Amino acid sequence: MVDDHDVPTVVLLVDDLTRPLVPVCAAAAVAGVLLTLGAVREHGRLTAGVDPGVLRRLLRWNLARSLAWTLGGVTALVPAAA
């Protein structure tokens, strides 16, 4: 399943293939690592029941992942603004 944050970056990259892919791919890799290291584990802990501490940690992981995706989108847009 495609995350909502994936679509705009992918569209920006496919729209103009001259954009540098390394920074965008790095941001995607960071988001993937954050998802794997934290969010998946916290989601697993929620199966035991709702815990406010787990929810707070999950929200922090999701914020970090969202920031990584935002950085990837901005990186893809910067060459278009120049």
Report pLDDT digits (tens) over 6-45: 555 556 556 666 666 777 777 778 878 877 888 888 888 8
Mean per-residue pLDDT over the chain, rounded: 76
How confident is the model at residue 6, as a pLDDT?
Answer: 52
Rg of the chain over Cα atoms, rounded to whole angstroms, equals 15
How confident is the model at residue 16, as a pLDDT?
Answer: 60
The Cα 56–Cα 73 span in angstroms is 26
22-34 vs 52-81: helix crossing angle, rounded to 10: 180
The Cα 66–Cα 35 span in angstroms is 10
pTM of the model: 0.63
Give the ranges where the chain is alpha helix by DSSP (H).
Answer: 6-15, 22-34, 40-46, 52-81
Task: Say yes or no to pLDDT of 53 above 70.
Answer: yes
- Give yes or no for a contact between 67 and 35, defined as CB atoms under 8 angstroms apart: no
Task: Say yes or no to pLDDT of 2 above 50.
Answer: no
